[in-house]
Amino acid sequence: MSFVEEVFETQFAPHLSLGDWSGRTETFRTALSLLEAEKREKTSIVETGTCRQPIEADFWTNGASTLIFDKYLEYHDGSCYSIDIDSQLQAQVRSQLSEKSTLICEDSILGLRELTASLERIDLLYLDSMDLCWIAPETSAVHHLKELAVSLALLRSGSLVLIDDSPRSEEWLPPWAANWSQPIWEIIPPEARLKWLSETVAGEALSRISSQQTTPDIVALREVLDRSTAALSSGDLSTSAELTEQLKETFLRCIPGTTTHPDYKPNARCPGKGLYACELLETLGEKIAHDYQVLYRIT
């Protein structure tokens, strides 16, 4: 038996998916199987972004990474360093972890730099810190590229790098990012779609984007959102159907990685947190698996 068969498949895999969306299951399974196949005496795991909700019902949204790695190291041996800037969050998780895991409360780039002075190597580097805004992923993607860059000194041939929130294609967008997706779209009555799109989808996304952002897609989205909000507040819904379509179309155009984005090329570019880090990893190793996360092995 192995950790993957005995623990991962029974305790974690059943909670990592939601309906048809199998999320992170295959990439975690592959990474852990590869680690096991190496038969190391001590495995060194480093992650950015500590497990947020250590309860099974929430594994599919965030991934439960710290718990999975901790259990792996209880089964085999080694150490996990998990870096996060949120001390309250780490305090909630600490009691559920063994002494194999060390929580470091710091900005991930600083924390990783410090680890380069004390660690010899990283067998699995898991990058999942700064949250992603799906329609403006650059800030988070640059942060993850920096995390990879400062970790390079600890990566060796055979080291694995796993990056979260980097879906392979539109089908792999999670339900909360693709919340305009067909099943939800069909549940909402046509007359309620404009309000839902304006407030919940486009409005919520735009509220997280700096007003300095003036790319044509974002400007167009703001403009349609303003017209939609004005129509909704005046009660004049004569153009509601047309505005709904425009709002949906402009919103989808802003999400890199969806097939409606003009720059989208299937599998050519990894959107999300791995947007830039994957370009560097393409030159350093080979892509091993790709679902909602992307996994590389350094060659």
Ligand X SMILES: C[S@@+](CC[C@H](N)C(=O)[O-])C[C@H]1O[C@@H](n2cnc3c(N)ncnc32)[C@H](O)[C@@H]1O
Residue 159 within binding range of ligand X, rule CB under 6 A:
no
CA neighbours within 13 Å on the CB side: how many for 141? 19
| Contact stretch for ligand X (CB under 6 A) within 44-52, 178-186, 257-265, 276-284 | 44-52
CA 34 to each of CA 1, 21, 144, 160, 163: distance values in angstroms, whole numbers, following the listed order:
15, 23, 23, 9, 16
Cα–Cα distance between 161 and 294 in angstroms, integer?
8
Residue 13 within binding range of ligand X, rule CB under 6 A:
no
Selected from 23, 63, 174, 272, the binder of ligand X by CB under 6 A is 63
| Under 8 Å between Cβ of 229 and 178 | no
Site size with ligand X, rule: CB under 6 A: 20
Residue 131 within binding range of ligand X, rule CB under 6 A:
yes
Shortest Å distance, C-beta 67 to ligand X: 8
Sheet holding 155-163, edge to edge: 101-105, 78-84, 43-48, 122-127, 155-163, 294-298, 285-290
- Strand, helix or coil for residue 107: coil
Q: Which is nearer to ligand X, 49 or 285 (CB)?
A: 49
Selected from 36, 128, 170, 291, the binder of ligand X by CB under 6 A is 128
Residue 224 within binding range of ligand X, rule CB under 6 A:
no
Shortest Å distance, C-beta 92 to ligand X: 11
Shortest Å distance, C-beta 65 to ligand X: 3
Residue 86 within binding range of ligand X, rule CB under 6 A:
yes
Binding site for ligand X (CB under 6 A): 48-52, 62-65, 83-86, 89, 107-108, 128-131
